[in-house]
Amino acid sequence: MKKLRFKKIDAFASRNSSGNPAAVIYLNKLEELSDDEKLQIAKELKGFVSEVGFVCPGTETDYKLCYFSSEREVAFCGHATIAIVNDIVANNESLHSKTTLSIATRTAHLQVENRYQDEKSVYVSAPPPSFSTKEICAAEIAVALNSRLDDLDASRPIRIINGGLETLIVPMAGLAPILSITPELQTLKKFCLQIGVDIVLLYSSEVAFQESQYRTRVFAPIFGYLEDPATGSGNSAFGYYLLAHGMWQGEKIKIEQNGSRHAPNFVQLFSRRTDTSDIRVWFGGSAIVKIDGQYHLE
């Protein structure tokens, strides 16, 4: 039996919302567990968390991370990254005043801005974007979402953008339409696999709270669950979408996310150049540790 350091951490949680839970396994090296063992842990935790993040000290960067859902390895998981880095900084006093950290995922090296002292939050630079030229029919999307075509906003573009995960971005006609969406998991999963996307993000410029700029909802059926209540990767792709279409100038904004009108989770975005001089979207928030203990892997 392997005994592993384990935490359950709710990313993007606030006093009024539960955030998005991630399980975290702390390792000395990622290779301590095989990919099959990592997937086994994620399968055992299905329904308890959506993804499991695995983290160890890095060589070229401060830390190395990888992520698994109950179905497969996940290229990038924003909420697990927020959970992990918040926890690392909170429990290492020498890091409280360190302004930047670096992390490596399987696919990218990313920067982290540490605002623990002022906000008890961290902000992560999303991977660089890629923009697909694939066109998806709005009527097909409406069927996959189990919604009416009129629920979609025909005046704004539908795009596929990768900001860590391949994301179908769908504009909705208002707050009521976006909150009323009730897709069926297997139908939406089949659609996502057919068009080659990881997640579907719906957005509306009509919001429930005055301080928010947009409402989003994110669905991730190919990873074994329907709705992701607070996401870094999905909202990063959305940030790149807003920049590309002149809908945002990069200032700090607040995104409210999930299907609850009065108790959304909040994800904050801003954009700026990294030390490699490319424009990146940064996403951030806080996290709350709910369980701290050991995971026994047989």
Residues 154, 257: one domain? yes
Backbone angles phi, psi at 271, to 5 degrees: -130, 150
Provide DSSP, 24-93.
EEE-SSGGGS-HHHHHHHHHHTBTTBSEEEEEEE-SSSSEEEEEE-SSSEES--HHHHHHHHHHHHHT-G
Residues 177, 220: one domain? yes
How many structural domains compose the chain? 2
Please check whether residue 22 lies inside any domain of the structure. yes
Residues 122, 135: one domain? no
pLDDT value at residue 205:
97
pLDDT value at residue 5:
97
pLDDT value at residue 277:
64
Which residue segment(s) compose the domain that 228 sits in?
131-262
**How far apart are the C-alpha atoms of 113 and 96, rounded to whole Å?**
11
pLDDT value at residue 13:
81
Residues 186, 230: one domain? yes
Please check whether residue 168 lies inside any domain of the structure. yes
Residues 290, 254: one domain? no
Please check whether residue 34 lies inside any domain of the structure. yes
pLDDT value at residue 246:
96
pLDDT value at residue 2:
93
pLDDT value at residue 44:
97
pLDDT value at residue 175:
98
CB-based burial of residue 50 (10 Å sphere; 0-12 exposed, 13-18 middle, 19+ buried)?
Answer: buried
pLDDT value at residue 18:
82
Residues 65, 156: one domain? no
Residues 106, 181: one domain? no
pLDDT value at residue 274:
65
Q: Which two tokens stand for residue 83?
A: 């959970």
User: What pTM value is reported for the model?
Assistant: 0.93
Domain of 143, CATH number, reads 3.10.310.10
For the chain, the average pLDDT equals 95
pLDDT value at residue 151:
98
Please check whether residue 121 lies inside any domain of the structure. yes
Residues 7, 78: one domain? yes
**How far apart are the C-alpha atoms of 199 and 251, rounded to whole Å?**
25
Please check whether residue 273 lies inside any domain of the structure. no
pLDDT value at residue 98:
94
Provide DSSP, 233-268.
HHHHHHHHHHHHTTS--S--EEEEESS-SSS-EEEE
How many CB atoms are located within 10 Å of the residue 272 CB? 12
pLDDT value at residue 276:
62
Q: Inter-axis angle of helices 233-244 and 78-90, to 10 degrees?
A: 110
Residues 102, 210: one domain? no
Residues 124, 136: one domain? no
Please check whether residue 29 lies inside any domain of the structure. yes
Residues 74, 148: one domain? no
Please check whether residue 268 lies inside any domain of the structure. no
Convert the pLDDT of each residue in 181-212 to its tens digit.
999 999 999 999 999 999 999 999 999 999 99
pLDDT tens, the chain, 298 aa long: 899 999 999 999 876 778 999 999 999 999 999 999 999 999 999 999 999 999 999 999 999 999 999 999 999 999 999 999 999 999 999 999 999 999 999 999 999 999 999 999 999 999 999 999 999 999 999 999 999 999 999 999 999 999 999 999 999 999 999 999 999 999 999 999 999 999 999 999 999 999 999 999 999 999 999 999 999 999 999 999 999 999 999 999 999 999 999 999 999 999 987 666 688 999 999 999 999 999 999 8
Convert the pLDDT of each residue in 173-187 to its tens digit.
999 999 999 999 999
Residues 194, 233: one domain? yes
Contacts of 95 (CB under 8 A, 6+ apart): 88, 89, 101, 114, 116
Please check whether residue 277 lies inside any domain of the structure. no
